[in-house]
Structure 1
Amino acid sequence: MATAHDHAAPEKPETHRHTQSFRDAPQEYLEKYRGRFDHGWDAECATRHARQTFERID
């Protein structure tokens, strides 16, 4: 998709058009964290909140 920005300054990428996702991460990071968050967002949130409450961070 070409935009006016692409034509005005092709050497400068239009950053708001691209999002960060697993496809942007280097393979070694994907392997390092593979399976670590398989339990889901809600479970991760609850675990982190419980730890922060216990440590009185929250």
Structure 2
Amino acid sequence: MRNLKLTNGQGTKQIIGKLLILSIIAVRMVFLTTPDFNEFNIVRKSNSAKHKIVKTINN
């Protein structure tokens, strides 16, 4: 059982790492493609809205 738990933890860490790398690449692409950062602001607003929804669900 301990071995299974260790392998699961490593797997989740790898998945999280890949997601972080992908998100960083996506943000860089947005910065490179848009001279003005309107799209980035829209993304920020949608993220904050998602966080609010998540908070209300958790409460």
TM over 0.5: no
TM-score, length of structure 2 as denominator length = 0.29
Relative contact order: is structure 1 or structure 2 higher (C-alpha 8 Å, sep ≥ 6)?
A: 2
Tell me which protein shows more helix as a share of its residues.
Answer: 2
Between Structure 1 and Structure 2, whose CA radius of gyration is higher?
1
